[in-house]
Amino acid sequence: KAGVTQTPRYLIKTRGQQVTLSCSPISGHRSVSWYQQTPGQGLQFLFEYFSETQRNKGNFPGRFSGRQFSNSRSEMNVSTLELGDSALYLCASRQGASNGYTFGSGTRLTVV
Amino acid sequence: TQLLEQSPQFLSIQEGENLTVYCNSSSVFSSLQWYRQEPGEGPVLLVTVVTGGEVKKLKRLTFQFGDARKDSSLHITAAQPGDTGLYLCAGAWAGGGADGLTFGKGTHLIIQP
């Protein structure tokens, strides 16, 4: 059974640019969540999608957005990149609200 | 903002020693999970605890959920170098809300041969 797949693994962008990250959940998992991980703040919740609908959203500015497609694949977009957006972005899927997450390996974003 | 505090933040011990990692909050969890993360990878789920006072064992790892569901601990017996990693606790708040899972900042564990 394939795990959660995130692409790309590494990304370098310039301040002011925008970026799109992709996540393919485990087959059959309809819930996809995104987290930002930094050394100073740890893992912080960005948003959660279920059946193409955003169910929850963390405390991040509107530059951070996401969506989920009918096949449960998800993308997140960050516009007008800032240096502080440099982080490991993790996607996780789960079967239901009472199940634990399965995480992907993440996308390491560096903003220069 | 609800916080999950983990302690210690860093721990370096010799192979064969025992250790305990703590996860505390002033709020009540509906469930709590422990994850282990290695460099360059995403966290891997170790266990989920749901009932106050619950104890779960995973080989040399013992997880305990506090009676009041506000705290949890992870105890490792006879630690081995393969246990090295970042251990994270994550809670779902009993009051619900739109914050997803809240993660502690983690315990960086190093087991020296």
- pLDDT (tens digit, 9 = 90+) per residue, B8-53? 999 999 999 999 999 999 889 888 999 999 998 999 999 999 999 9
Find the chain B residues whose C-beta atoms sit closer than 8 A to any C-beta of A: 31, 33, 35, 40-45, 48, 88, 90, 98-106
Find the chain A residues whose C-beta atoms sit closer than 8 A to any C-beta of B: 4, 33, 35, 41-45, 47-48, 55-58, 90, 92, 98-106
CA–CA distance, A3 with B9 (Å, rounded to integer): 29
Residues whose CB falls within 8 Å of the CB of residue B96, separated by 6 or more in sequence, listed in order: B30
A101 has pLDDT over 70: yes
Structure confidence by residue, pLDDT tens digits, B55-81: 999 999 999 999 999 999 999 999 999
% of chain A residues with pLDDT over 70: 97
Residue B85 half-sphere exposure, CB side, CA atoms within 13 Å? 20
CA–CA distance, A80 with A12 (Å, rounded to integer): 14
H or E stretch covering B14: strand B10-14
Total beta-carbon pairs less than 8 A apart between chain A and chain B: 52
CB spacing of A43 vs B103 below 8 angstroms: yes
pLDDT-derived band at B92, boundaries 50, 70, 90: confident
CB spacing of B88 vs A43 below 8 angstroms: yes
A1 has pLDDT over 70: no
pLDDT-derived band at B96, boundaries 50, 70, 90: low
% of chain A residues with pLDDT over 90: 83
Pairing of strands A107-111, A10-13: parallel
Residues A38-64 as b or e (16 or more Cβ within 10 Å = b) = eeeebbbbbbbbbeeeeebbbebeeeb
Residue B101's pLDDT is 85
Residue A2's pLDDT is 73
B7 has pLDDT over 70: yes
Residue A68's pLDDT is 97
